[in-house]
Amino acid sequence: MKRSIALSVNGVSHSVEVEPRALLAQVLRDDLNLTGTHIGCDTSQCGACTIHLNGRATKSCTVLAVQAEGAEITTIEGLAKNGALHPLQNAFWEKHGLQCGFCTPGMIMSAADLLASNGSPSDEQIRHAIEGNLCRCTGYQNIVAAIKSAASA
């Protein structure tokens, strides 16, 4: 039995019919066509699906869509404002913080959460903060550099 939920994504209000078991990640991708949020695992390890749920970084595969009723959600598609890239997006580009780019949206959303609470994190703090986001391409070094550079931007 589908249920109707209302939620705001990237500042746009949506009303969606969802199965109670549908994950927020699936609804964002399949129903709202926001395919920048990726699904890379089934155990909440990889973090590719990280979005902001009411302002906090959240793995959208661990949230049922019905739990997001009334929530304010930001996805990677909503990070750039008025055509200007978010400082983290610029920094990932500048510092070669991505290769295949599959983990990147989740990585950037987690990093944004870190920078919201810590404006000048150390390398160690950055590495700790993105522990829940796996990247198989970059070896993390340029991701750390990118986040550090965005913090000082």
Partner 1 sequence: MATLFGSGIKRREDPRLITGSGTFTDDIKLPGLTFAAMVRSPYAHATIRKIDTAAAAQAPGVIAVITGKDIAGKVGPVPCAFNVPNCDLKLPPHPALATNKVRYVGDAVAMIVATSRAAARDAVDLVDVDYDPLPATVDPEKAVQPGTAQLHDEVPGNVAFTWHVAGGDADQAFAQAAVKVSLRIVQQRLLPTAMEPRSAVASYNKATGQLTLWATSQNPHIHRFLTSVTLGLPEHKIRVISPDVGGGFGSKIPGYADEFLVAYAAMTLGRSVKWTEDRSENYTVTTHGRDHVEYVEMCGTGDGTITGLRTKIHAGLGAYASTAAPGVPTILHGLMYSGAYTIPNVKGTVIGAYTNTTPVDAYRGAGRPEATYLIERLVDCYARRIGMDPALVRRKNLIPADKMPYTVATGITYDSGDYHAALDKAMELIDYRGFRERQEKARKDGHYLGIGVSSYTEICGLGPSQVAGQIGFGGGLYESAIVRVYPTGMVRAYIGTRPHGQGEETTFAQIVADEFGVPIENVEIVAGDTESTPQGWGTYGSRTTAVGGAALKNAAVKVKEKAKKLAAHLLEANEADLEWHDGKFQVKGSPAQAKAFGELALMANVAWNMPAGMEPGLEASAFFDPTNFVFPYGTHIATVDVDLETGEVTVLRYVCVDDCGPHINPMIVEGQVHGGVIQGVGEALQEIAVYSDDGQLMTGTMMDYAVPKASQMPTIESHFTYTPTPVNPLGVKGIGEAGTIGSVPCIVNAVVDALAPLGITHIDKPLTPARVWAAIQQAKGGAR
Q: Which residues bind partner 1 (CB under 8 A)?
A: 19, 21-22, 26, 29-30, 33-43, 45-46, 48, 75-77, 79-80, 85, 89, 92-94, 96, 98-105, 108, 123-124, 126-128, 130-131, 133-144
CB of 71 to partner 1, least distance (A): 19
Query: For residue 119, what are the CA distances in angstroms to 32, 60, 89, 146, 148?
Result: 32, 25, 16, 14, 9
CB of 5 to partner 1, least distance (A): 17
Fill in the amino acid letter for 23. L
The whole-angstrom separation of Cα 84 and Cα 80 is 5
Q: Is 29 helix (H, G, I), strand (E, B) or coil?
A: helix
Tokens of 23: 């994950």
Nearer to partner 1, 72 or 94 (CB): 94
Nearer to partner 1, 70 or 149 (CB): 149
Q: Is 131 helix (H, G, I), strand (E, B) or coil?
A: coil
Nearer to partner 1, 68 or 105 (CB): 105
Strand partners, 119: none
Tokens of 8: 């705001």
The whole-angstrom separation of Cα 46 and Cα 133 is 5
CB of 19 to partner 1, least distance (A): 6
CB of 58 to partner 1, least distance (A): 16
- According to DSSP, residue 19 is labeled -
Nearer to partner 1, 5 or 22 (CB): 22
CB of 54 to partner 1, least distance (A): 20
Nearer to partner 1, 29 or 52 (CB): 29
